[in-house]
Structure 1
């Protein structure tokens, strides 16, 4: 049953990636503007002969089906095409920047999962004013958009206090940690609050469950009840929401990278979209969708393995 479940999720991943590739290529195929002008620059209008030569060289005039098939097969073979703006292959552009994005997402994920799970668990176990305080703070964080949080952190911790740099990604491990702390905090703030809220609800639900009350009535020590009956059964929803949070980081890192001047994949996507660099936008959009769906698929599979109450039937 589990292998069939994994097979269905993998098939859904492939189907989603295929539909997303058609949508991405189609949206940019019909977008206004001529990407060939990026190679010519300013000055007097280009001659029709020059535009025709550029279109022919970069296959800009190919019919939709032919162009889509060439692009998709190239992506499947690891060739994402050539950037008209940077005059370099998209593979090289991504390779130069992917390290910063991966480090930022991993840093933000750590800031989300560890404090979020700890705060939510403590709030549920202790209750009282501690739970009220955690609920108030997390609710406030969830209401602040990422770009607003970025501005607040730059003004407060960089301009006013000077604790962290507000621009760039740094070099080396220590330099990256220093430079990416503010971007990671801005990226993680709302998701941390979400994980804390779900953790609190999951732990509190398990505390009131019948099997926990039975374990307590049998005289099992409280720490054993909490560890084996409460936290273990609450781990599935906690892991699920943590996975969704990490997937959300992948989709939302563009705003933070642009705000803090981090030379990553998200910033490259925004800059390329503004310049109508179609090859870069198409490749990065498809990569983002595939990674996002792959993370969610992995979360579904692990959640089903952790919690046997999750249905593995065809209707899941």
Structure 2
């Protein structure tokens, strides 16, 4: 049964990637502006013959189906085309920057999951003042946009206190850890609050469930009840929302990378979109969609495996 579920979700992932590829390529194919003008500097009116030659060389005038098929087959073979702005292959540009983005997203995911599960469980188990403080803190964090949090962290922890650098990604593990702490905090803040609230609700729901009350009535030690019945049964929704948070980090890292000058693929996406560098934007947009869908698919599979009360056949 689990293998049929995995196969079904994998097929949906492939279909999603194909539809996303058509949407991404089609949207940029019909977008206004002429990418060929990026290769002509000086601010003078472009020479029509030069423009025509650039269009011919980069296949900018090919029909949609022909150009899309060339792009798709190139992507499948690891060739995402050539950047008109940077005069470099898109695959090489992404490979140089993706390490910073992966480190940033992984760091932010750690800053979300570990504190959120601890705070949410503590609030649900303790209640009272602890619950109120956690609720107020998480509500305030969810109300602050990511770019505002970035500015606040730069002013407070970098400019005012000088604890962390505010620009760049650093080199080596220690250097990256130091330089990417503020970006990871800014990226994780709102998701930390969200996962904390979901953890709190999941643990509280399990505390009031019938099987937990039965276990307590049988005289089972409270520590065992919490570990084996409450936290174990609450792990399904907690893991599910944590996976959604990680997927959200992938989609939202562009703003943070741009704010902190991190040389990652998110910042590259913003810069390339501003310069109408279609090959780079198309490749990065497709990668973002595919990674997002892949993470969600893995989360669905693991959540279904963790929570045996969920029917695999009933899931979409």
Quote the residue 2:136 is aligned against: 136
- Paired with 1:82 and 1:166, the residues of 2 have a C-alpha distance of 32
The DSSP-based 3-state class of the residue aligned with 2:311 is: coil
Partner in structure 1 of residue 150 of structure 2: 150
Number of the residue aligned with 2:64: 64
By how many angstroms is 1:310 displaced? Answer: 1.4
| TM-score under structure 1 length normalisation | 0.99
- Counterpart Cα distance in 2 of 1:157 and 1:44: 46
Cα deviation digits, residues 50-104 of structure 1 (max 9, x gap): 1111111111001000011100111011110000000000011001100000000
Equivalent residue, structure 1, for 2:212: 212
Aligned to 2:244: 244
Query: What is the alpha-carbon distance in structure 1 between the residues aligned to residue 21 and residue 62 of structure 2?
Result: 17
Instruction: Please give the alpha-carbon distance, in whole angstroms, between the structure 1 residues aligned to 2:251 and 2:162.
Output: 29
- Structure 2 distance, partners of 1:315, 1:135, is 32
Aligned residue pairs total: 316
Q: Deviations over 1:224-266 (max 9, x none)?
A: 1011000100000000000000000000000000000000000
* Unmatched runs of 5 consecutive residues or more in structure 2: none
Partners in 2 of 1:315 and 1:109 — Cα distance? 26
Q: Which residue of 1 aligns with 2:24?
A: 24
CA distance in 1, matches of 2:300, 2:64: 35
3-state SS in 1 of match to 2:180: helix
Shift of residue 47, structure 1, vs aligned partner: 1.6
Note the alpha carbon deviations across 1:160-193, whole angstroms, 9 max, x for none: 1111111100111111111100000000000000
**Offset, 1:314:** 5.0
Corresponding residue of 1:41: 41
SS at structure 1 position matched to 2:300: helix
Q: C-alpha distance in 2, partners of 1:133/1:118?
A: 14
Moved over 4 A (4+): none
* SS of residue matched to 1:227: helix
Q: Which residue of 1 aligns with 2:161?
A: 161
Q: CA deviation at 1:42?
A: 2.1
SS of the equivalent of 2:150 reads: helix
TM-score by length of 2: 0.99
RMSD over aligned Cα, in angstroms? 0.8
Counterpart of 1:233?
Answer: 233
Partner in structure 1 of residue 311 of structure 2:
311
* Residue 44 of structure 1, CA deviation: 2.3
| 1:115 aligned residue | 115
